Amino acid sequence: MSEIIGESVEHRGGAIRNAGYVISRYARILTSDIVRFVYSPECIVCEERLEQDKVYFCQRCRDNAQDISFPLCIRCRNQITVPRMGCACNDGAAVSVLWTCGMFDGFYRAVIHAIKYHGLLPLSKTAAEILASRIRETQRLPAVDLLVPIPLHWSRHLQRGFNQSELIAEHLGALLDTEVSNKVLRRVKRTKDQTRLSAKEREANMRGAFAPTGRRELADRRILLVDDVTTTGSTLNEAAAALRQAGCRNVFAAVVAVASIN
C-alpha cells in the first residue's frame, strides 16, 4: 500500500522535497552551530567540555574508536583479501565486499547519531575523510567510476531535511576524485524501521525498495554504494540488485560503520 502511495505522489513530492531539503538543511546547520555557540561545545561521545569550537569530539574518544582497517564480507564479516573475487560464502550476491571505518559502537555510533538526529552535518565530512583514508590505506578497492548514496524515500527525506548518506557520498567523491550521483537510484517503497527486525524480516522489508532510474548511465558502470551504517546488509543488497538489473558491471559498498548482527 505505501508503495503505491509513494509512487503516485512522487512527482509532486519532488518539488516540495527539494525546497524542504534546502531550507531544513541550512536551518539545521545554523541551529546546530548556534546551539554550540551559546552552550560551550561538548564531545559527542563522552560529553566532556571541549576547548576549541568547531571540534566535535575529544582525542581520547577518537583514539578509542573501534576501527576496522580491511575490506570485509557483508555476510560473514571475514576479511577479504581479493575484493574483486568477493567472498565464497556469498557467491553470486549482488554485492559482497564492504569498506568501513569501524564498528557501530562508541565513536562511530556517536558520529552517525550526531549527523542524523542532531543535524551536526559537518561531521559527514569527518566520516568521509576517515572512510577515504581507510579505502586508500588498504589500496584494494577495484576501479569504480561512480559513487551512489543509498537514497531515502522522498517522504523520509522531507521529514529529516537531508540524506546523511548523500552528504557522506558527496565528500567521499571529492576526496576520491570520483563522480557522485543521487539520480540513478530511487527509493520507491517507504520501508519500516529495521531496528527491531530479524535478518529475514529485514530482507522482506527491503524487497523491491529501490528502482534504477538511469539505465543508460548505469550500463557497464562500476559502482561504490555509500551508506551510513549496515547491519545485515539487506539494504545494500537490495540496492545493488536494482543497479545490477540496470546493467552495472560491479557493485561494492562503503559504510561509515557496521553494526553487530544479533
Residue 175-194 contact track with Zn ion, rule CB under 5 A, x = bound: --------------------
95 scored as a contact of Zn ion (CB under 5 A): no
111 scored as a contact of Zn ion (CB under 5 A): no
Which part of the chain contacts Zn ion (CB under 5 A), choosing from 72-80, 158-166, 175-183, 236-244?
72-80
| Candidate residues 24, 56, 58, 108; the one interacting with Zn ion per rule CB under 5 A | 58
* Nearest residue (CB) to Zn ion, 45 versus 243: 45
Q: Which residue has the cell 570485509?
A: 72
61 scored as a contact of Zn ion (CB under 5 A): yes
* Nearest residue (CB) to Zn ion, 60 versus 207: 60
Which part of the chain contacts Zn ion (CB under 5 A), choosing from 8-16, 37-45, 183-191, 194-202?
37-45
Number of Cβ within a 10 Å radius of residue 245? 14
Task: Please state the φ and ψ torsions of residue 146, each to the nearest 5 degrees.
Answer: -155, 130
* Nearest residue (CB) to Zn ion, 21 versus 56: 56
Indicate left, alpha or beta for 38 from its phi (over 0: left) and psi (-120 to 50: alpha). Answer: alpha
19 scored as a contact of Zn ion (CB under 5 A): no
> Which ranges in 139-180 belong to alpha helices (H)?
154-160, 164-176
* The Cα angle at residue 251 between residues 230 and 202, in degrees rounded to 5: 35
Number of Cβ within a 10 Å radius of residue 138? 15
**What count of residues does the chain have?**
262
- Cα–Cα distance between 55 and 33 in angstroms, integer? 11
34 scored as a contact of Zn ion (CB under 5 A): no
Q: Which residues bind Zn ion (CB under 5 A)?
A: 43, 45-46, 58, 61, 73, 75-76, 87, 89-90
